[in-house]
Amino acid sequence: MMALGCVNILMHHGGAFSKQDELTYDGGDITLFQKIDKDELSYYHLVQLAKTVGFKDGDNLYYAIPGRSLDEGGIDHLKDDTSISEMMKYANGAKFLEVYIQRNEHDVSGYPTVGDAAQQDNTDETNKGNKPIRLRKKRDERPWTAEEEKVLTDVLYEMNDSGWKVDTGHKSGYLSFIEKELAKRLPNAHIKADPHIQSKVKTLKKLLSYILDIQQSGSGFGWDDERKMVVGDKDQFMGWAKSQPGAAALYGKPFVNFDKLFEIYASDLAKGAKAKGPGDQFDLHEELSSADVTEQTQQIDSAVDSHSQPPCHGSNSSSGVKSLAGRKRVILDDNVLASEFSNISKALNTLVEAETANAAAMNTMQSAFTQELEAQKRTDERREQLFSVLKKLSGFSRDQIVKAVLVIGQNEKRINLLFTTPDELKSEFVHQVLKRPKKM
């Protein structure tokens, strides 16, 4: 566990803040600085750490306030030791603090945040308190037209059957391939793999996952498959969307490419965290930006803890080994030597027997492991075929197929049971799963 007088810092760098539906930090990487002494941490010390990951004079530092989203006054400016002290007030209740580097080329306006308002005597009353900072869009952002989004979706759809999709997502280099295809079909658009396509694909997958969640568990609102939009009680939807960054944009607006995106990504989303191919890089900052502690945050915690274990104190190298210094010489007769050799022979026989038993046990374990791998491979193959199998069954709406993919695809026993069920009973099996998904 981390020492009580230390704090871990997750530093976001190489990206930039942007403000569309909500304030986000897009792109870049994250570096973990472990076990920083709380008493020694100063603004100068933090800047020195930031410089190791690209911070330059004129850049700005911000920190996230735990338990708040960036849009809810959850970010504040770091500019001196006083602001460092304000940040450290949150250190005891969090396993790590998040710090963001904003490059000087991305202009940040002078609107104060929580810490700024308390330190500026001449600030207007309306600018005090938990007011989030205003930011201009970063230079590499671009709006996508409906036609551009359609062409992008078409390219992704065509790639489904062209060898770019693997059982864990997309192959490395798929974004560059898409860039070349878009250049052919939209020669004047100048759309680049990074950041344009990478950001857009991430957004589309996020919105698709929201729609699948709504189809499965929406309460008071739902998905209209004919109009391709979220409908129902707007207040209830907006209440749900508060904890789903970007979801608010779905209400009452047609998501016209849903059908193709569903066929592209539904199988991946059904696998959850396993759906990360070599080309689908993991955006750690996206997972850590939410107020809730997600599975990825827990992985960071595990990484911190694993590096914070006390050093192992092994046995002293001299224990169990008697010093030869000062040992008296003795003269052994033949009988004593024969007895010693007999004991050594028995010990060697015992060792050989033990090694033979160990080898047999290892063979058994290896066989079991091989069988487990084969079973897992068979399940993965069946999971890949799940969507096409369900589409062939008659009497199910698209909404029911989506729910069946989500319910069956996340449980290995259900997957294997479906595939071993006779064809004439598969439809009844799916009906039962949809009726009692938690009891199957």
pLDDT, tens only, 22-79: 778 887 788 888 888 888 899 999 999 999 989 998 899 999 888 777 766 788 999 9
pLDDT tens for 212-226 read: 889 888 788 999 988
pLDDT for res 270: 60
Q: Note the pTM of the prediction, 2 decimals.
A: 0.38
At residue 7, the 3 state secondary structure works out as strand
Tell whether the model's pLDDT for residue 343 goes beyond 50: yes
* Structural domains for the chain: 6-127 (3.10.20.90), 146-239+246-262 (no CATH)
How would residue 141 be classed by pLDDT, with cut points 50, 70 and 90? Answer: low
DSSP assignments along 343-398, one per residue: HHHHHHHHHHHHHHHHHHHHHHHHHHHHHHHHHHHHHHHHHHHHHHHHHHSSS--H
Considering only residues 120 and 391, tell me which one the structure prediction assigns the higher pLDDT: 391
Q: Does the CA dihedral 117-118-119-121 come out positive or negative?
A: positive
| pLDDT number for residue 344 | 77
Burial of 119 (0-12, 13-18, 19+ CB in 10 A): middle
438 pLDDT tier (thresholds 50, 70, 90)? low
* Contact assessment for residue 9 and residue 33, using Cβ atoms and an 8 Å cutoff: yes
pLDDT on residue 396: 87
Which of the 8 DSSP states describes residue 108?
B
Confirm if 203 and 246 have CB atoms less than 8 A apart.
Answer: yes
pLDDT above 80 (res 150) = yes
pLDDT of residue 231: 92
pLDDT digits (tens, 9 = 90+) for 163-207: 787 766 778 888 999 999 999 999 988 899 888 888 888 888 888
Q: What is the pLDDT of residue 434?
A: 84
Q: How does the average pLDDT of the chain come out, rounded?
A: 73
Q: Is 298 helix (H, G, I), strand (E, B) or coil?
A: helix
**Please, are residues 35 and 8 in contact by the beta-carbon 8 Å criterion?**
yes
As a whole-number percent, the residues of the chain with pLDDT over 70 amount to 70
Summarize the confidence of residues 97-107 as an average pLDDT.
77
Give me 409's structure tokens.
């695809």
Tokens of 223: 């998905």
The first and second tokens of residue 202, run together, are 């991430």
Over its C-alpha atoms, the chain yields an Rg (Å, rounded) of 30
Residue 239 pLDDT greater than 80, yes or no: yes
Residue 83 has a pLDDT of: 92
Out of 160-164, 228-232, 291-295, 360-364, give the one with best mean pLDDT. Answer: 228-232
Per DSSP, what are the bridge partners of residue 231? 222
Of all residues in the chain, the percent with pLDDT exceeding 90 is: 15
Among the ranges 133-137, 249-253, 291-295, which has the highest mean pLDDT value?
Answer: 249-253
Structure confidence at residue 133 (pLDDT): 36
Residue 416 has pLDDT above 70, yes or no: yes
Q: Give the number of other Cβ atoms within 10 Å of residue 105's Cβ.
A: 10
Q: What is the pLDDT of residues 293-329, one digit of tens each?
A: 233 333 323 323 333 334 333 333 333 333 333 333 4
pLDDT value of position 84: 92
Mean pLDDT of 241-265: 87
Closest CA to 71 of 34, 117, 107, 21: 21
